[in-house]
Amino acid sequence: MAQSPTTVVDELGIALSNLADAATGAITPTIRLGVTGLSRAGKTIFITALVHNLLTGGRLPGFAPLAEGRLIGAKLAEYPDATIPRFAYEQHLAALTGKAPHWPESTRRISQLRVVLKFQSKKWYSGMTGPSTLNLDIVDYPGEWLLDLPLLGLSFAEWSVQALDRADRPGSGKEAGPFLDLLTEIDPLKDANDVDAERLAAAFTEYLRRSREHGALSTLPPGRFLLPGDLEGSPALTFAPLPPQRQAVRGTSLYAMLESRYEAYKDRIVRPFFRDHFARLDRQIVLVDTLRALNAGPAAVADLETALTAVLGCFRQGETNPLLRPFVRRIDRILFAATKADHVHHTSHDRLEAILNRLVASASKRARFAGAETRSIALAGIRATREGTISEAGQTLPTIIGTPMAGETLDGVSYDGKTEIALFPGDLPERPDSLFEDGTPVALNFLRFTPPQKLELNAAGDVVLPHIRFDRALDYLIGDRLA
């Protein structure tokens, strides 16, 4: 039987944290925005663009508070939790806008940032009270950590069955083969020893790493195996799934040792993350690298759907009873965003959104049933390409124009990171269900592009970051709280 994701002690801790937030919010209201996404979905880019656009009053015609002239300004402020590292906004912005623009490194640890927004409310009494203030708190963390949340509801035996089933599927042999071979050599019922535990954990970690390189997502938990940080080599990260045992398991066996370490991983690493950060969100954006999955093939698309459904099932979503609001927080708006919309022509954006809707259909339905609003959008936090046309064989084809990153290859051509090209990216399927019904592959010319090499400046001398529908996303996530 699946275990409860939280204990009574967890719930008490969450309630006390929410009460402390409510007490602080009595002076200045605070909205906690969760920027969530699986690995390489663009969380760091999204947060950097969000903060920069708010601080500089970027070109956001779809963001009502700014378009209507009611957003007075924004500034960075000290985050209330001094134990969490600060999101490196200035360094990330410098990487994107320096002499040699490049994408900043992906998130490797948890970080936070607070933006204070001052605005003029549209409410009738705003003329008497003056400008209002809202704290926007953002917490960033590695996408791999997100995939650990479903483990809270699984015992070691249940997780092992799922993990080994994925490893044994057709097409996984190259990545999982060495680990599965090692499993046949080691008897889980023998006396426990660290040497066998370390061999199994190392082989399992290598399998996870190779799976990630080939686009697999649902196979990745435990996420800290790939980003261990200070925990590298600790017992809590030295375990692996084991086959079910028909005989009684002795408490001194290798099986019992790995089961105990799995439970320690959940209790000391995953559960505190869920309790202290994930369970205290008000709004949520889920960034999805849909194009990367499409480019990897039908198996990667199905895998992405599995991973998203499992993760989104952990969200605390829906309306909150006003009497319980000081103790209970729930996510009342969720935005699903297909990132890297600048990698396809705008004529495919509707189809990209339709594919995303298909991927999150069950999770979105569950959220709406719980009382949360949901919406899907195709966006680019920072647009790396522009659009044009080319003529080929008497046809005019829509293209994207940009500079492929160094080392990217297509049709036998390798790019140097300096040469701009015009590329016909291909068409997305008109019917998203075709990706799941018959496994029809999508013929995309998919390349990773460098950030824009030349950026405009606004009247105040601030860099303007080009985007696609970023303003609409921001308006949906926080616009109503600035009304």
Find where tokens 């001052």 sit.
118
Beta bridge partners of 135: 30, 116
320 vs 110: CA distance, rounded Å: 27
H or E element in which residue 399 lies: strand 395-402
Instruction: Tokens for 420, please give them.
Output: 């701009």
What is the reported pTM? Answer: 0.87
163 vs 243: CA distance, rounded Å: 10
Q: What is the pLDDT along the chain (483 residues), one digit of tens a residue?
A: 344 455 555 555 544 554 555 545 446 899 999 898 877 889 999 999 999 999 999 999 999 999 999 999 999 999 888 888 999 999 999 999 999 999 998 877 888 999 999 999 988 776 667 899 999 999 888 877 888 888 998 999 999 999 999 899 887 888 999 999 999 999 999 999 999 999 999 999 999 988 887 766 666 789 889 888 778 889 999 999 999 998 899 999 999 999 999 999 999 999 988 888 778 889 999 899 999 888 877 878 888 888 888 877 777 665 544 444 444 577 889 999 999 999 999 999 999 999 999 999 988 888 888 888 899 999 999 999 999 998 877 888 899 999 999 999 998 899 999 999 999 998 888 888 877 766 666 777 889 999 999 999 999 999 999 999 999 999 999 999 999
- Total Cβ atoms within 10 A of residue 433: 12
Specify the long-range contacts of residues 230-233, CB closer than 8 Å, at least 24 apart: 231/269
Exposed/middle/buried for 383, CB within 10 Å: 0-12, 13-18, 19+?
A: buried
Whole-number Cα distances in Å, 368 to 93, 298, 319, 334, 373: 36, 28, 10, 10, 6
Size of the chain in residues: 483
Instruction: From 83, 80, 86, select the one nearest 21 (Cα to Cα).
Output: 80
Beta bridge partners of 375: 335
Instruction: Tokens for 7, please give them.
Output: 């204990």
Instruction: Name the class of domain 8-141+277-383+468-482.
Output: alpha beta
Q: Are 350 and 429 in contact (CB under 8 A)?
A: no
Instruction: Tokens for 137, please give them.
Output: 């708190």
DSSP for 212-241, please give it: HHTT--TT--SGGGTS-GGGTT-GGG----
The gap between the terminal CA atoms of the chain, to the nearest Å, is 46
Exposed/middle/buried for 221, CB within 10 Å: 0-12, 13-18, 19+?
A: buried
User: 9 — phi, psi (to 5°)?
Assistant: -65, -40
Q: Where are the domains of the chain?
A: 8-141+277-383+468-482, 149-267, 386-437
3-state secondary structure of 163: helix
Beta bridge partners of 376: 336
For β-strands 132-140 and 30-37, DSSP reports them as: parallel
DSSP for 284-297, please give it: EEEEE-HHHHHHH-
DSSP 279: G
Where b means 16+ CB within 10 Å and e means fewer, 120-147 reads: bbeeeeeeeeeebebbbbbbbbbbbbbb
Q: Are 207 and 176 in contact (CB under 8 A)?
A: yes
Instruction: From 80, 188, 169, 70, select the one nearest 121 (Cα to Cα).
Output: 70
283 vs 408: CA distance, rounded Å: 36
Instruction: Tokens for 218, please give them.
Output: 């649902």
Q: Are 469 and 378 in contact (CB under 8 A)?
A: yes
3-state secondary structure of 375: strand
